[in-house]
Amino acid sequence: MGQVTGLTPFIVAMIRAPHAALAKADPAKLAAKYEIPPAFAEFYLTHWSNRA
């Protein structure tokens, strides 16, 4: 079984990730990995993940 892609797996992975890792994450690489729009990855990393 390969990498699961899409918005739901992306969100689950981001919820599980430590905040320090999210601060260093590259939105373009995450978008490519999960096959999601780059703007969504950028939005998540800059807005939602900043809540401590």
Predicted local distance difference test score (pLDDT) of residue 42: 93
- Statement: residue 49 has pLDDT above 80: no
- Statement: residue 48 has pLDDT above 80: no
pTM of the model: 0.77
Predicted local distance difference test score (pLDDT) of residue 37: 93
pLDDT tens digit sequence for 6-47: 999 999 999 999 988 888 899 999 999 999 999 999 999 988
Whether 14 contacts 51, CB under 8 Å? no
Residue 17 DSSP class: S
Task: Report the distance separating Cα 19 and Cα 37, nearest Å.
Answer: 21
- Statement: residue 3 has pLDDT above 90: no
Domain-by-domain residue ranges, the chain?
7-50
